[in-house]
Chain A
Amino acid sequence: MATVIQTHHLTHRYGSFTAIKDVNLDVIQGEIFGFLGPNGAGKTTTIRTLLDFIRPSSGSAELFGLDARRDSVAIRARLGYLPSELKLWENWTGEQYIRWLEGLRQQSFIEEARRLAAMLDYDLTRSLKGMSTGMKRKMGLIAALAHKPELLVLDEPTTGLDPLMQQVFHVLMREVRAEGRTVFLSSHNLPEVEQICDRVAIIRAGEIEAVQTIADLTRVSFRWLTLTMATPAAVDGFSAIRGVSDLVAEDHDLKMRISGDTDINAVIKQAAKYDIRDIHLFQPTLEEIFLTYYGQKEA
């Protein structure tokens, strides 16, 4: 498979502040590549450098084997982009916007736009004025996807989308992958990345901390499980289960950490011995993932 995105020691400085440093990435054709990091980690700066909105202070980037700076117009003809904060021209309807994009891209894709709009439950005849963030997001996704680009660059794509539409988005991404197209998806939403990505790069403080397959990420990943019991909580029986750790009993709540290789059946069987009133499952924060990852790496 061809390499669609390749960066070599990509670095960008805003004055004395280094936003990204020595970013080396290889994104392969046909994969959904997650770009994971907390807010301010350098995700958007990396994307803006790839799209030639800003220029690298040092290093370089290639998309489709073309130089991101020199060949930016040719590159942008082959990609679809959804920015993290989308602003649309409000004096148009969605259909007028798509028609304008067709003229600019010299390609007809209104039918595909209509299909996507139907999937996303979006009315293309509606004016873009006064739309909610979620509706703008839908329009942005339609505009980014409709011309069937070889590469999709999506910056926090599901922000503002309701859970149902997030599921539709996941379907669309799998569709793109099945057609051999590539997705570069930036997010700080770990579950989303886990659900749809093949590989993920983790960026922190402007530097790539790790590039992993989702299987590897899941292995170091974990969940926080809280059981609310009818009687005061007890740790008995749970601590012996493989993968369960950090047990804390507090009043009627029993909180535990469930790692990727936990024997879930054993947890359920043990919980069944108690009168359980409520169950909460929490995702770890990215910081917790980083700490786990480094804990394993150091070990």
Chain B
Amino acid sequence: MWAIYKKAMRDSQRTMLWLSIGLGLYALLMVSFYPMMQAQEDSYKEMLKSYPKEMMSVFMGGDFDPDTYSLTDIGTFVQTYFMLYGIVIIGALAVVQAFNAITNAERDGTLDVMMSLPVSRRQMFTGRALATISMILIVLTFSIAGFWAGSLIWTEFDINLIELAVGLYGSFFLLTVFTGLSYLLAAVVPSSKHYAGAVAYLALIGTYLIYSLSGLSDALDAIKPLMAYDYYSAGTAINDGAQWGDWAVLAVVSVLFFGLAWWFIDRKELAV
């Protein structure tokens, strides 16, 4: 299993490295804007109030309220300017990794080569799934490092490493839901069918859009608890600490998805 894990890590190291550096630098860049935003907060608030509520809801999150919204609140800042998009970007990486591990490997024949070796399907699955999870953690670590480095340079961005770690690593639980779902789809849907990837991206991006717009519609607001995004907010985690109750819900769903994928992979017909 570890040989598979190391190989999966090696195969993705370039993608992982560039995404990690990119998001780390993006975090640093965002922090560099923080002192300016802090200095001009009143003007920003006026500007945000002038934008359509629908637009602000999508870009600032479903709970956006121009009257209570504070740009200088660090939790809100990290959530709004980083994690809202960061989740989708890192989630997309996880979806790609899951489908590369099984569906695309099956299509291009490398899974045949792998499965002709003395490795069980479940060992292969576990090695590759662990590699995807490790990649998520590495990318998140670089993002945390970016924010932390920024806080050392621009001291107005007053946050400690533990608050940052709790806030950003908390997204791990949300990301593993999408990762687990992707692995499950890859294990269940034959590689000849092309809709599995679309379903995974729909879950990642479609529910994000629905969640973002939920503040505008009572109907959407009613189904918010069914969406994974409802159980994680970097802002809440940074300001109020770990949200163990919500994260436990995400963890249970992730374990369920991974467990089902682990069960199905052993029953999968590997297509030519």
Contact = CB atoms under 8 A, between A and B. Distances in A.
Interface of A: 44, 48, 51-55, 72-74, 76-77, 79, 81, 83, 85-89, 91, 100-101, 103-105
Contacts of A51: 115-116
A81 B269 contact: no
Contacts of B11: 89, 91
Contacts of A73: 118-120
Given A77-B118, A104-B3, A104-B119, A86 B272 contact: no
Given A72-B120, A100-B3, 18 more contacts: A51-B116, A52-B115, A53-B115, A53-B270, A73-B118, A76-B115, A76-B118, A77-B118, A79-B116, A83-B109, A83-B112, A85-B109, A86-B113, A87-B110, A87-B113, A89-B7, A89-B11, A103-B3
8 contacts: A73-B119, A79-B116, A83-B112, A86-B109, A87-B112, A88-B110, A104-B117, A105-B117
Interface in B232-272: 267, 269-270, 272
Contacts of B218: none
A84 to B, nearest CB: 9
B10 interface: yes
B108 interface: yes
B116 A81 contact: yes
A225 to B, nearest CB: 38
Contacts of B117: 76, 101, 104-105
B: interface residue count bin: 20 to 34
Contacts of A85: 109
B18 to A, nearest CB: 15
A279 B129 CA distance: 61
Nearest to B117: A104
Q: Which 8 A-B pairs have the closest CB atoms?
A: A77-B118, A87-B109, A81-B116, A53-B270, A104-B3, A76-B118, A54-B269, A73-B120
B116 A83 contact: yes
Contact of A91 (B4, B10, B270): B10
Interface string B118-159: 111000000000000000000000000000000000000000
Given A54-B269, A55-B269, A100-B3, A76 B109 contact: no
Contacts of B108: 87
Nearest to A44: B272
A74 B267 CA distance: 18
A211 B153 CA distance: 79
A132 to B, nearest CB: 16
A83 B120 contact: no
A266 to B, nearest CB: 48
Contacts of A72: 120
A79 B115 CA distance: 12
Nearest to A80: B116
B118 A53 contact: no
Interface in B37-69: none
Contacts of B272: 44, 48
B38 to A, nearest CB: 46
Given A44-B272, A105-B118, A89 B3 contact: no
A253 B10 CA distance: 62
Interface string B7-18: 100110000000
A103 B118 CA distance: 11
Nearest to A55: B269
B270 to A, nearest CB: 4
Contacts of B116: 51, 76, 79, 81, 83
A91 B7 CA distance: 11
